Amino acid sequence: EIMLTQSPGTLSLSPGESATLSCRTSQTLSSTFLAWYQQKPGQAPRLLIYAASTRATDIPDRFSGSGSGTDFTLTITRVDPEDFAVYYCHQYGTSPPGNFGQGTRLDIK
Amino acid sequence: EVQLVQSGAEVKKPGESLRISCKASGYTFVNYWIGWVRQTPGKGLEWLALIHPGYSDTAYRPSFQGQVTISVDKSTRTAYLHWNNLKASDSAIYYCVRHSTTSKWSPGGFWGQGTLVTVSS
């Protein structure tokens, strides 16, 4: 099973700053099979990015994804107050249904 | 508009059986993989199982094989997750999730509102 390790565990930023969230996989993963989700308290996760860099429907362009091999990144430029949430990466390329990282919490500084 | 509406919260005792449901609307039910993800404070998000309503093909996370059963009723466009012998460790929020595309290798694009399952003696 491919393991996903997210860092940092918690990221504290002020609105307007940029956020860089990392997801490292234990084996090489095709970028076709890496997604990012956002989860706010009391809500279900929401798909932000799939295929490592493609924004899902209605996702603002301040969210971007990049990476390949074993290192993937979610970047939020100019963090908006509504962006404070927990973010998860997900690999769906092996042994469906795949598995998630443990999450990065983005907190208001 | 794709909608996944899940059944309500459940409180059960260890050893009891349970079936939770997810009613889908707004798309062609038989064309998309649909499954269940659970969330716990200790283990985070975990996929349990997937099913293709059109092919009746299933895929289980190995650690959940034999512990839960996923099924669908095409006539009512409803997916189910069933337990025969609940354990306290099954306590979690369970989300119904539909794939973004018709491919088996697809992320979860649409999520239900979640069903809280509490198993306690």
Could you list the pLDDT tens digit for every one of the 121 residues in chain B? 999 999 999 999 999 999 999 999 999 999 999 999 999 998 899 999 999 999 989 999 999 999 999 999 999 999 999 999 999 999 999 999 999 999 999 999 999 999 999 999 9
Angle at B102 between CA B99 and CA B105, to 5 degrees: 65
Across the strands, what pairs with A38?
A: A46, A87
State how far residue A27 is from chain B, nearest Cα, in angstroms.
17
The arithmetic mean of pLDDT across residues A16-27, rounded, is 97
Predicted local confidence at residue B17, as pLDDT: 98
**Min Cα–Cα distance to chain A from B9, Å:** 14
From B62's Cα to the closest Cα of chain A, the distance in A is 9
Q: Under an 8 A CB cutoff, do A95 and B107 touch?
A: no
B44 contacts A102? CB cut-off 8 A: yes
Q: Could you please report the per-residue DSSP string of B63-97?
A: GGBTTBEEEEETTTTEEEEEESS--GGG-EEEEEE
**B9 contact A CB<8A:** no
Is B112:B4 a contact under the CB 8 Å cutoff? yes
C-alpha distance from residue A36 to each of A21, A52, A88, B19, B20 (Å): 10, 8, 6, 29, 27
Nearest by CB: A92 against B49, B106, B111: B106
Q: Which residues of chain A does B113 touch, with a Cβ-Cβ cutoff of 8 Å?
A: 44
Residue A45 to residue B45, Cβ atoms within 8 A: yes
C-alpha B15/C-alpha A53 separation (Å) is 44
Q: Which tokens sit at A76?
A: 């939020």
How far, in Å, are A20, A44, B45 from residue A11 at the CA level? 9, 21, 20
CB B98 within 8 A of CB B2: yes
- Collect all residues of chain B within an 8 Å Cβ-Cβ radius of residue A38: none
- Tens-digit pLDDT profile for residues A60-101: 999 999 999 999 999 999 999 999 999 999 999 987 778 999
| Distances B65 to A36, B50, B59, B110 between C-alpha atoms, Å | 26, 11, 9, 24
Q: Which candidate in B57, B70, B105, B110 is best for mutational testing of the A interface (most A CBs within 10 A)?
A: B105
CB B79 within 8 A of CB B71: yes
| Cα B95–chain centre separation | 6
Of A33, A47, A102, the CB nearest to B109: A47
